[in-house]
Each structure stands twice: as C-alpha cells, then as structure tokens.
Amino acid sequence: MSKFNIFRNLKQKSIALILIAIYTIFLTGCNPTLIEANKDTVTQLVQSILEDPKTFNPVISQDATSGSVGSMIFDGLVTENPLTGKTEPALAESWTISDDKLKVVFTLRKNLKWSDGEPITADDVVFSFNQLYFNEEIPTSAKDTLRIGQSQKLPIVKKLNDLQIEFTLSEPFAPFFSSVGQEILPEHILKKTIEHRNQDGNLIFLSTWAVDTPPSEIVASSAYKLKEYKTSQRIIFEANPYYWKKGVNGETLPHIQQVVWEIVESQDTSLLQFRSGGLDSIGVSPEYFSLLKKEENKGNYTIYNGGAQYGTVYITFNLNQGSRNGKPLVDPIKSKWFNNVKFRQAVAYGLDRQRMINNIFRGLGEPQTSPVSVQSPFYYDGLQGYEYNPEKAKSLLTAAGFTYNDQGELFDRDGNRVSFTLGTNAGNKTRESMGSQIKEDLRKIGIQVDFKPLAFNVLVDNLSNSLEWECILLGLTGGNEPNGGANIWFTDGNLHMFNQDTGPGQTPLEGRVIAPWEEEIAQLFIDGARELDFEKRKAIYAEIQTLVEEKVPFIYLINPFSLSAVRNRVQPIDYSALGGAFWNLEELKITE
C-alpha cells in the first residue's frame, strides 16, 4: 500500500503501488473495430483505462496507468503469487540466504534477454537498485520499503558474476522479499541518463521515457512490449519475442499476442459497451452489480468476488504546520483544528459508514478500521473502529473548546466558523457520492464542508508539490506485508501525506512539526521489519494499528468487495482480491 492506487497490476508483483481513486480499476474489453482488423492475424484482448499515462518510467511513476504500464513490460527478480501470498521466482530462478540472514544471493535465469535482444545480466540488477531505486536524487517508493533498521540503511547490492547478485543487509529484515520485487531496468539504455544533467541541474533520467518517447526506444523484459501510444485514444502492447517464461508444456508465452488499452474516461460508457457484448471484462462497482448479476447468464460472463479488497479508503487532514517562503501551507486557524486529536476523532464518529454501505456500496462492503488490509495475516481484529455516533462527536468537540450557536453551527474558541475544503479525484462516481455524504454527515455535527472534486493531475500536484490542501478523500493500495506502507508512516516517507516533507529539488519547509506519535509509529515499523518471529511481528503491527486508530491521521471509511465480471471466453480465470482477474495474463487464452 505504498502508492495511491487501487489499479491492479496485471501480474501481482511485490512492488510498491501508486495514487488513484478506488473504482478506477481498469475495465477490460473488446473493441469491435480493432478485433475485426486483427482477427485473422493475432489474438487480442482490449481493455479500457480511465486516463492517459503520465510517464513510461516505472521508477518515478505516481499514477495508476503509468505504474501498470511498468508492470506490463518489466519484471523483477521475484514476484508474489496472489493466491498463496508466497514469493516466487521471476527473473531470478533461485536464491540463497546466509545463516545469519544478512546476505541474499540471487541467481538469474540463463539466457535472459531484453526485447531488443540484448542480454539481461547482473549489471542490470545492480544498476537498477544502486543507480535508480537507491538514488537520493530520484523520488521513488522503493527506497522507503527497503530502508533497514534504526540507521535506515539501504542494502548493499553487488555483482558476483553475470548471473549472480548479492544483497547485504545491515540487520535481519523480515519483509525483504516482499520489498525487492521492483522492476529491473536496462543499464545499456539508461546508464547515460544518470551520467548527465539538464540545464536545471536535474538528472536526465527524471525526464526519460516520457509519454512522447517512441515505443521502439523502450525495451521490455516481461510478456509484452510497448507497440503504440496515441494520446487520449489507446495504448497497444505486443508480445515480447524474448519473454523468458514458458507454459506448462514448454510453449511460448504469452498466448494472447496483443493487448490494447482503450482510454475511456467514462465508466458509464464502459458499462454500455460491456452490456452490448463489446467488452471482455469490467470492474463491478456497486451501482452496477444488480444489473450485471441479472444478465450474467445471458451475457455469457461470470462475476468473480474476491472478498474484501486490499487497500484502504479514507479521508485525511493536512497536519503540516510548515511554511514555504513565509506562507503557511495550511491556514493556521484550521491547522490548529486539524492537529487536535479530539477534532479528528469527532469527525471519525460523525461519519455514517453503514449508510455509505447501504446507499453507495449497495451492501457490497464493510466498515474499515485499519491501515492493514483485512485479508492480510497481520490484520488486527481487536480494533474498535468509529461507529457512527454524532452525539459523541459533539461531546468531543465541546470538550476540545468548540461551541455551537443556536443554529447548531460549530465555532472554535476564537469565534471562527469551523469549515474546510474536501477534495477528491473528479469523475469517480463512488468517490463523489461518498464526498457528498461526508458533507451531509458533518453538517449534522455543525461542520461546514466545501466538497470539491478535482482533476487528477491537480490533486497529485497538491499532494506532492504545493502541499497546500486541507482534507482529501482517497485510497491506498494494500498487500499482505505491512511494510509495503513504510513510505506512508516514516516521517520522511514520500507518502507521509498528512504531514508531508518536501521532495528532492523542492523548496524546503520551515517550521514543520513532527508529533511524538508519528515518531512512535515510524519506530514500530522499524521494529516490525527487524523481527523475524511471525507472532512477535504480528503483535508489533497490532500495536501500530491500535495507535493509528487512536490518533486518526487517516479516518478510514469502507472496505468494498473485490468484484469483476469477465467473459467466459477468457480462460482460465483464477480470481483473487490481491491480483484480480488478470494477474497471470501471460497464461490466459481467448477461446471462441
């Protein structure tokens, strides 16, 4: 859950994931025009996505589409099986662990090649980690998930020979394998981009593989390579002829030779196309479930239910008390409210989650209480949560010095009307409905909410660059390993959004304050990562979840069910909440 995103990777990898809204999961389908043109030459699957990618560089991507492009065309050393949760080989065929648990040696598969025919060797692995992921001038979540112990040292990565790479750890690190699956990138293409700078002094790498890069210049290691990108129209991937993985009978993979992502910004349009028989699959949002269920047999598709989704849906306040160039990021009057834990607890009690489930999610969800996914073995079921209780919310507010006038409007002790702006990504119906209800619910406890859905790129800029926002409604991806969220909870993490520090190259903040509980959570994450005993680790993460519940930096909302409708002609589907329907896309076939 290390990036803003609920957009699933097509091959579930143990990598940090990206920012976007919960129901912007990709919708899959068949475009009749494209299929007609290719039906005699290639097998083709057409999917739809909701937005254009911002970059084709997976190291610096911060949007769902860009991250998923990376997952389509690049593999890591290892991957996580979403059905079992176990680490499995990918580019590395095997590994050995020293007795003291401080050294891990990976052995690459023989004869690996990039899509341009060049060999994939240990040099690419060492380059990817030492020069890219561990480079302090490059903003990426990988650094946070691989920082080890109190010193926060990164692993030492070195080449032993062309096929072997040694990782040396400063101390035992339990989540190592869930954190080391980042995509490996080609040194022979990218080395020059970290050796030169632009006129602003920034590494050329930071602007490498922009969306205007010719696809032929982007080499791949996974099942597909980039073939074509047309802005606001589509992304086309074609089979990588040098893909390393073979089928169960030794056959060449992938079976589906071409994948097209049509860029369709309307979920309603996707629904119409699916119902008319044009789409192979659609992520089933609550408002569509009943209709699609009725037509399941007629439409020759199956609705898969993976149970509770991995990830979280929440609102969070900007607790940052810092200033930039003398200007506070947050109005000091409002910052005082937001940094009052009783205020945050009152807001948590003031939200009617059951009404959200009934009216917005159509019963297809449950109240959410924790930053750890409910399906994770580290989820702590002893949390109390914040059951809807407006009277308790009002009591907490008055105890904190707030007062009500005769109209039931809330004021602080200095006579300021309590109001704030709530933002989310525009175009997401579920999010917009949730925001509208939050506005209604909080009005009942005297708080005025100005709900403003924003364009996605504006929202990202507010969170990552300007840092000027008040409250947001968003979601984070999740996984089985809690340390995947280290970059959220480390006080200098690049997703410590509720009290975000500036990133590389940005103007530093003055007066940023880190609360003791923030430091305590960060320390517990260090303790949890260094503990190798499962039960002891579980106890540490239970302590983290309890502390997060008490201090409410995130006010968790609803855990929706993972639902997807897939045409029966796409086989074999082995659905899971962690990987979705297409986690093993390279093994799937289209049967007519």
In a domain, 39, yes or no: no
CA atoms within 13 A on the CB side of 60: 22
Report the pLDDT value the prediction gives residue 477, as an integer from 0 to 100.
Answer: 84
Q: How do residues 4-32 score in pLDDT, each as one tens digit? A: 432 333 343 333 333 333 333 333 333 33
Report the pLDDT value the prediction gives residue 40, as an integer from 0 to 100.
Answer: 53
| Structural domains of the chain, count | 1
In a domain, 279, yes or no: no
CATH number of the CATH domain containing 391:
3.10.105.10
In a domain, 542, yes or no: yes
Q: Which domain, by its residues, includes 473?
A: 312-556
Percent above pLDDT 70 for the chain: 93
Strands of 118-211, DSSP E: 156-161, 164-168
Region 207-228: mean pLDDT is 96
In a domain, 298, yes or no: no
Q: How do residues 111-151 score in pLDDT, each as one tens digit? A: 999 999 999 999 999 999 999 999 999 988 788 889 898 89
In a domain, 441, yes or no: yes
Region 566-581: mean pLDDT is 94
Contact 414, 333 (CB under 8 A): yes
In a domain, 23, yes or no: no
- Radius of gyration for the chain, computed over Cα atoms and rounded to the nearest angstrom: 24
Rounded CA gap, 549 and 534, in Å?
A: 22
CA atoms within 13 A on the CB side of 492: 10
385-391, long-range: CB within 8 Å, 24+ apart, which pairs? Answer: 385/549, 386/345, 386/348, 386/349, 386/351, 386/552, 386/555, 387/349, 388/349, 388/350, 388/351, 388/352, 388/353, 388/354, 388/355, 389/349, 390/349, 390/350, 390/444, 390/445
Instruction: Tell me the pLDDT of the chain averaged across its residues.
Output: 90
Q: Is the pTM of this model over 0.95?
A: no
CA atoms within 13 A on the CB side of 490: 27
Q: What is the band of 41 on the pLDDT scale with cuts at 50, 70, 90?
A: low
Q: How do residues 368-424 score in pLDDT, each as one tens digit? A: 999 999 999 999 999 999 999 999 999 999 999 999 999 999 999 999 999 999 999
In a domain, 34, yes or no: no
